[in-house]
A and B are shown apart, each in its own frame.
Chain A
């Protein structure tokens, strides 16, 4: 009993920190191979490149922990990015930003309603809205890129606070906020409860539909924020923006140990997952390895992360 207990404890500790361990090991290996990797400039680069997907991944973490799945956030990034640019022709950028976050929340609510109330499996519901939203992006932009020129707005994506780019600060702030909400608030606790066992949560008095919808709302709002950073960084948006981002966001969450069956996860570890994904690209670029290999390697990392989790669960 004690032996198996301590063994299972060891496995659970390994499971919990495997992402951190893999992260550190990778850093050490890469910095041996390419000394440039550990330079301040490159570290800043890795963080900044992670910021857009990282913010989106915070939302994905909530959705997946709550037992859902949202693949529409890539399209939603494009829509909110296009809108935040478009709206600025008729209002101050600050109001455009606020409005667009509302748009993200609204589409999140729609995704949540389709999943929780109509009972469409979340991945299919959001497959539908993903396509619809992308269509709206084309209708809104007419198929052409949109441009914006606003110094204030540009700060979100290009500004610096001291030596640190603003998107990184925004990312870290949102990660801290997300982690706090997940661990310290009723909403966070209920999210874990619903993903862990929906029926038991319901029978404990949790309004499961409402809170499940709220996870999708968080997902939509985070997608909107990432859309805002995206638009601000490039000061332009093409209708194709954000394609495939939803997959990187989900990958960040699951590499960070968010259980694909729901109930467990951490926003901080999702951030590490996002950094890990970016680092792989970054290091491969530094080493001059071609893009195709990067895809294969990224895919393997995802399989390894989820495989470890799923396999150890099936064993017990």
Chain B
């Protein structure tokens, strides 16, 4: 192989890239390259290291080791704005345009053309028209972003990249909220970029897109690169297997604590909360661990929030014990014995600037009163220390600010605070996200221990593997409905296939089935 030409045709080359966070090796010696004018897919399950990798490339994170060669020179960008100036654009999942400015103002934002210190409208309009011509697509330049659809906004972001003469465009789940037609349109534009020699790193969970538009596929798992394949030489089966990895079929034998002989603790009937939850019914029994999995956007989190009273139901019925409930607020749900470990620990689960003990006692502060309304700090600290021992929370002191704890310890704080309310139903939404392996194991055993005391647990996760490992029974959500129900011991592949819509339906590429993993 001729090294020189190889280097010439790569716009980006990554060698031995590693990045660790406290307790987690997010990337381990990842090497890959992206060729000029190539559409390259980056694939992997949640937590496999995709977003860490892109963040290292653009300089949002500093890498621990390894090198990045971009446009033939070694680079070490200090910030995303620096890499942007050098021609690497990122199109994020969440929108990053300014809604109140026009299309043209957004396209040139931060890089306005000017003459003698004044904005040169004419020059910008000229360049804008040129970009449109290049794309073969025209958006009205004076339209406000706020009045555009999601797909058009994605296009504006691409135009922004073109205005900077980007050589590499990184797209993170760009079709996540697009309809099928809109997605097809986006694909045409990616083709157009390709013809111009602009490379695209395409991150997605939707496999049929990958087979439609990419040249090569790189699969990450647990922070390691597993393989780079030519798209033409592989198929979905192989890619799914690479993503999931070696599946251990030995089921750890364990007791089930489910009391199917008793009436269910909570019954959910035809619950609707548009747009994401579209008619869900199930029961959970005392001591049962009900796993719920499904792609992101399949309605898992929205269901959890509705059960907890954080969002109102549009319709449907929830029964706890023999009482129909209709919560207007979480405080009502908590009073009748529901607890939620929310998906977004930092924003929804904790008050980060609070000392640890204050977070733990917050929902049940009434129990720390010597007289109504007054708080006994002595009792608070005592309880905090009990949980610290019981759940093995590593703290410098009870007074430590919660924001200084690692992800796993923070999550244990969230779990502690709910244990204090002695819930009948504990909902755990993506409770092991951003948590290191050891703490994950500890969280699983806490869940099991709770089930053994008769708590009904709803364990929600988009990682099929852990749902498979923890649950007594598994529901698979797809597009706001239950797509399948599985007993413990079902093969993981079967669950995963149900989640992504099954092979035949999946390849059909129906708009409704196009969801991320």
Contacts and interface: CB of A to CB of B under 8 A. Distances in A.
Number of contact residues on A: which range applies?
20 to 34
A296 interface: no
A196 B351 contact: yes
Interface stretch (B279-287, B362-370, B446-454): B362-370
Interface stretch (B223-231, B256-264, B328-336): B328-336
B342 interface: yes
B167 to A, nearest CB: 33
Contact of A202 (B330, B369, B421): B330
Residue among A200, A206, A207 with max Cβ neighbours from chain B (10 Å)? A200
A263 interface: yes
A193 B359 CA distance: 9
Contact of B347 (A184, A189, A199, A264): A199
B352 A204 contact: no
B310 interface: yes
Contacts of A264: 353
Classify the interface of chain A: helix, strand, loop or mixed: helix
A201 B310 contact: no
A90 interface: no
B348 A185 contact: no
Nearest to B345: A200
B350 interface: yes
Contact of B310 (A187, A190, A202, A207): A202
A186 B351 contact: no
Given A199-B348, A201-B362, A263 B353 contact: yes
Given A186-B369, A199-B348, A200-B347, A206 B362 contact: yes
A203 interface: yes
Given A204-B417, A205-B331, A207-B329, A189 B365 contact: yes
A73 B488 CA distance: 63
A235 interface: no
A186 B342 contact: no
Contacts of B21: none
A219 to B, nearest CB: 19
Given A199-B348, A204-B417, A207-B331, A189 B375 contact: yes
Given A189-B358, A189-B362, A197 B369 contact: no
A206 B331 contact: yes
A39 interface: no
Contacts of A199: 347-348
Contacts of A263: 351, 353-354
A186 B366 contact: yes
Nearest to B340: A203
A192 interface: yes
Contact of A205 (B334, B354, B373, B404): B334
A203 B375 contact: no
B308 interface: yes
Given A185-B373, A185-B375, A204-B417, A197 B342 contact: no
Contact of A192 (B354, B363, B369, B417): B354
Nearest to A316: B403
Contacts of A187: 373
B347 A185 contact: no
A197 B403 CA distance: 12
A203 B338 CA distance: 11
Interface in A107-132: none
Nearest to A209: B329
B330 A197 contact: no
A41 interface: no
Given A203-B310, A204-B362, A197 B329 contact: no
A170 B350 CA distance: 37
B374 interface: yes
Contacts of B334: 204-205
B247 interface: no
B317 to A, nearest CB: 23
Given A203-B308, A206-B362, A197 B340 contact: no
B353 A5 contact: no
Interface of A: 5, 8, 184-187, 189-190, 192-193, 196-197, 199-207, 263-264
Given A186-B369, A193-B351, A200-B347, 8 more contacts: A184-B377, A192-B354, A200-B350, A202-B329, A202-B330, A205-B330, A205-B331, A206-B362
21 contacts: A184-B375, A185-B374, A186-B365, A186-B373, A189-B365, A192-B358, A193-B351, A193-B358, A196-B354, A197-B347, A200-B347, A200-B348, A200-B350, A202-B330, A203-B308, A203-B330, A203-B349, A204-B362, A204-B363, A263-B354, A264-B353
Interface of B: 308, 310, 329-331, 333-335, 340, 342, 347-354, 358, 362-363, 365-366, 369, 373-375, 377, 396, 404, 417, 421
